């Protein structure tokens, strides 16, 4: 289900907007509710009681699928990135897990969005060097 939503947000033809929408959706999803609900996959991954091969395999499939989706979107761009699309996808998906921890500590969605924007800017830096307008 998350992959379907991610696919929708990543469909924006403008890569910068697509990545920002993807992270905005991720952050909104985990910060909604009182208390904030966080992220089920990250909670499950770090829960020692949920340690089992079937659970780990399901989490790997979900995260690998998300990484593939992001990599495919990055590869579709006819521009240079600051690093290869596969590496950038891995870093971006890893960031989706890291912001869960930062949300728990700071409980500040604006801070999470600013951090995500910084990472997106770094990933797209190669593209911006090639085109001063960032296109």
Ranges of each domain in the chain: 2-130
Enter the tokens of residue 97.
């897990």
Q: pLDDT of 45-83, one tens digit each?
A: 666 666 678 888 888 998 999 999 999 999 986 667 999
Contact between 32 and 95 (Cβ < 8 Å):
no
pTM of the model as a whole = 0.82
Query: What is the average per-residue pLDDT within 75-102?
Result: 89
Q: How far apart are CA 70 and CA 68, in angstroms?
A: 6
Q: If you classify domain 2-130 with CATH, what class do you get? A: mainly alpha
């Amino acid at each position: 289900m998350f992959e379907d939503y991610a696919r929708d947000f990543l469909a924006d033809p403008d890569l910068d907007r697509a990545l920002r929408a993807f992270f905005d959706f991720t952050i909104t999803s985990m910060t909604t509710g009182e208390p904030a609900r966080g992220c089920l996959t990250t909670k499950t991954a770090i829960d020692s009681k949920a340690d089992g091969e079937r659970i780990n395999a399901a989490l790997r499939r979900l995260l690998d699928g998300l990484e593939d989706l992001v990599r495919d979107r990055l590869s579709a761009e006819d521009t240079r990135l600051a690093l290869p699309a596969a590496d950038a996808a891995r870093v971006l998906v890893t960031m989706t897990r890291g912001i869960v921890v930062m949300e728990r500590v700071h409980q500040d969605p604006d801070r999470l969005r600013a951090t995500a924007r910084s990472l997106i800017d770094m990933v797209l830096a190669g593209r911006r060097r090639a085109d001063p307008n960032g296109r």
